């Protein structure tokens, strides 16, 4: 009678599995990093830019138009993202972060797919995805939720479509979709569509190597161009149909170029582009830079692998030309490029793992310690209180406790302030506005703090939800005339004046909003004639229209009341 086989002990099964798949633990580590990074992103608050996008996104859902009814000088794509997030998940700070987290997960899957298609190793691609996710989390709340954030996901998607071996029947449709993705990236920021040229050239070279004729070589580029035109055409028709095309044309054709030219003074194009290349490839992250060096060292002599890295580097170089064009070099300007470079960096680190980490306990430990050292050695953002890792511990503690030990408002108060921006102060001022004026009334903020409209849930009295156009050294005359016309149509019940918001790289001068009022006598005289100062909260003065102000002063002292919310 045959004897029933006895299954081996669990330890033996695990050991055999490890021998069959030496990358098992590496993949587990990579997915853990991805989960950690996404958890951080979900707990990010709004910064100043995110508040702009949120106010305009909410306005779109209410039937308002960007530029005509609610003004910012970024292209319209980011407003569509925020409006879509609010439509899907409700109007809250977490809604766009949920969309961002989904995009980040898609980036990881796309990097994994690129690893298999270009380097014959999905694990190498997964390592790149983990690096991309971690770098994105390290950008912190101020530099995420930006146009480049979502353009990065579109770029990775376009690369997946570009490198897949499509059948002759499906290739045109795939290339049309590739173009549509990069056309959508154009709506986020025009230079982020530059990879379309790289993808078109890459596909032409692949077809040439496969013996296709010239017409067939050019066909993918034609499909990409047609696909990219679709989102642009639809957006243009929407603005034209809603009567907002002139405002879009003035904003993006006249105002935005003046803002960009501020950064070119005294600098050559080669200086700007050289700095963008160096910072994008090496300066932001030691982990990324080391991985790229390893990729070149291990794959530099392999023709196929060299071509794969060349594609990724060419896409990154095209995007970094846009960073140089802007000339500001904010960390978030690199957010679309970091996932592309992370694929190559992940491959380089994976090669190191396979060379020295596999089959040796000492080598595995040394590899993990190297990763840890490179991760903490240099991070993209270094001006926030506490540093990324200490802040991450606070966020994880909040997450694990389910908000029982500290509320979300307390977490925001502890973490989300930088330079002159303070989320807690914005909440305090917004609460004061909401307490003093009815929900049907409008408010105007003479400052750079659109979060006050968001938190107070009071409508802006003007399309200008911040005052950079009126303070800028170019286009100020037209912007001031438009503002005054808006205030005549809808006299605000309250005006908030901000102090200490100084942005020479944005406005072209070193004056804050309060100090710049004398240079705008029409608004200053209106404020003195029609409004009464009520109170001061942090850097914000609150003025009520005189009939309301007189009543308010009966029970509120007409003197500054400091709100100690700014962190040291």
Same domain, 435 and 362: no
Contact 535, 496 (CB under 8 A): no
**Tens-digit pLDDT profile for residues 384-416:** 988 999 999 999 999 998 888 888 889 999 999
Same domain, 39 and 116: yes
What distance lies between CA 337 and its chain's CA centroid? Answer: 11
Domain that holds residue 403: 386-417
Q: For residue 102, give both structure tokens.
A: 């989904």
Residue 373 lies inside a defined structural domain of this protein: yes
pLDDT of residue 261: 86
User: Burial, 449: exposed, middle or buried (Cβ in 10 Å; 0-12, 13-18, 19+)?
Assistant: buried
Three-state SS letters, 236-305? HHHHHHCCCHHHHHHHHHHHHHHHHHHHHCCCCHHHHHHHHHHHHHHHCCHHHHHHHHHHHHHHCCCHHH
First-last CA distance in the chain: 81
pLDDT at 304 over 90: no
pLDDT of residue 19: 56
Same domain, 371 and 464: no
CA separation, residue 473 to residues 67, 72, 384, 448, 480 (Å): 20, 17, 30, 16, 12
The kind and range of the H/E element at 532 are strand 531-537
Residue 12 lies inside a defined structural domain of this protein: no
- Rounded to whole angstroms, how far apart are CA atoms 284 and 215? 42
Same domain, 269 and 364: yes
Same domain, 331 and 437: no
Same domain, 141 and 278: yes
The answer to pTM > 0.85 is yes
Average pLDDT score, the chain: 91
Residue 302 lies inside a defined structural domain of this protein: yes
- Rounded to whole angstroms, how far apart are CA atoms 441 and 366? 63
3 state DSSP class of 556: coil
3 state DSSP class of 163: helix
Contacts of 278 (CB under 8 A, 6+ apart): none
Q: For residue 177, give both structure tokens.
A: 């979709």
**Tens-digit pLDDT profile for residues 87-144:** 999 999 999 999 999 999 999 999 999 999 999 999 999 999 999 999 999 999 999 9
Same domain, 443 and 407: no
């Amino acid at each position: 009678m045959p004897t029933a086989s006895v299954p081996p002990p669990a330890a033996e099964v695990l050991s055999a599995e490890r021998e069959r798949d030496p990358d098992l633990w590496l993949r587990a580590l990579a997915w853990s990093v991805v989960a950690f990074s996404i958890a951080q992103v979900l707990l990010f608050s709004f910064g100043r830019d995110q508040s702009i996008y949120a106010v305009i996104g909410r306005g779109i859902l209410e039937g308002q138009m960007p530029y005509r009814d609610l003004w910012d000088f970024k292209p319209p794509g980011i407003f569509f993202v925020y409006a879509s997030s609010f439509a899907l998940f409700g109007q809250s700070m977490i809604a766009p972060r949920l969309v961002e987290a989904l995009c980040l997960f898609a980036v990881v899957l796309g990097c994994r797919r690129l690893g298999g298609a270009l380097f014959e190793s999905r694990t190498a691609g997964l390592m790149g995805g983990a690096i991309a996710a971690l770098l994105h989390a390290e950008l912190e709340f101020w530099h995420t939720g930006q146009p480049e954030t979502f353009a990065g996901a579109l770029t990775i998607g376009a690369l997946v479509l570009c490198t897949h071996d499509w059948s002759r029947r499906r290739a045109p449709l795939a290339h049309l979709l590739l173009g549509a993705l990069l056309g959508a990236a154009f709506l986020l920021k025009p230079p982020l569509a530059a990879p379309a040229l790289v993808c078109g050239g890459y596909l032409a070279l692949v077809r040439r190597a496969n013996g296709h004729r010239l017409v067939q070589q050019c066909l993918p580029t034609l499909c990409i161009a047609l696909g990219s035109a679709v989102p642009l055409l639809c957006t243009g028709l929407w603005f034209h149909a809603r009567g907002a095309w002139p405002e879009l044309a003035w904003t993006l054709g006249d105002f935005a170029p003046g803002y960009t030219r501020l950064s070119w003074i005294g600098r050559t194009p080669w200086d700007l582009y050289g700095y963008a290349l160096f910072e994008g490839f090496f300066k932001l992250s030691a982990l990324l830079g080391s991985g790229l060096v390893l990729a070149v060292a291990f794959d530099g002599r392999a023709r196929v692998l060299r071509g794969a890295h060349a594609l990724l580097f060419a896409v990154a170089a095209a995007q970094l030309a846009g960073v140089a064009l802007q000339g500001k070099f904010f960390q978030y300007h690199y957010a679309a490029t970091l996932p592309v470079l992370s694929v190559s960096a992940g491959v380089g680190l994976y090669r190191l793992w396979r060379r020295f980490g596999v089959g040796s306990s000492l080598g595995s430990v040394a590899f993990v310690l190297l990763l840890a050292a490179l991760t903490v050695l240099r991070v993209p953002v270094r001006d926030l209180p506490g540093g990324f890792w200490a802040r991450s511990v606070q966020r994880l503690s909040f997450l694990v406790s389910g908000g029982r030990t500290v509320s979300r408002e307390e977490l925001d108060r502890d973490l989300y302030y930088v330079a002159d921006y303070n989320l807690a102060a914005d909440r305090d001022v917004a609460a004061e506005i909401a307490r003093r004026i009815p929900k049907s009334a409008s408010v105007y903020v003479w400052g750079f703090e659109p979060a006050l409209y968001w938190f107070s849930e009071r409508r802006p009295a003007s399309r200008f939800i911040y005052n950079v156009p009126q303070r800028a050294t170019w286009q100020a005359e037209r912007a001031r005339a438009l503002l005054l016309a808006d205030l005549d149509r809808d006299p605000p019940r309250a005006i908030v004046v901000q102090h200490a918001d100084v942005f020479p790289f944005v406005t072209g001068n070193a004056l804050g909003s309060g100090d710049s009022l004398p240079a705008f006598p029409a608004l200053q005289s209106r404020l003195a004639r029609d409004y009464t100062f009520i109170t001061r909260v942090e850097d914000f003065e609150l003025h009520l229209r005189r009939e309301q102000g007189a009543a308010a002063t009966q029970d509120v002292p007409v003197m500054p009341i400091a709100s100690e919310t700014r962190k040291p």
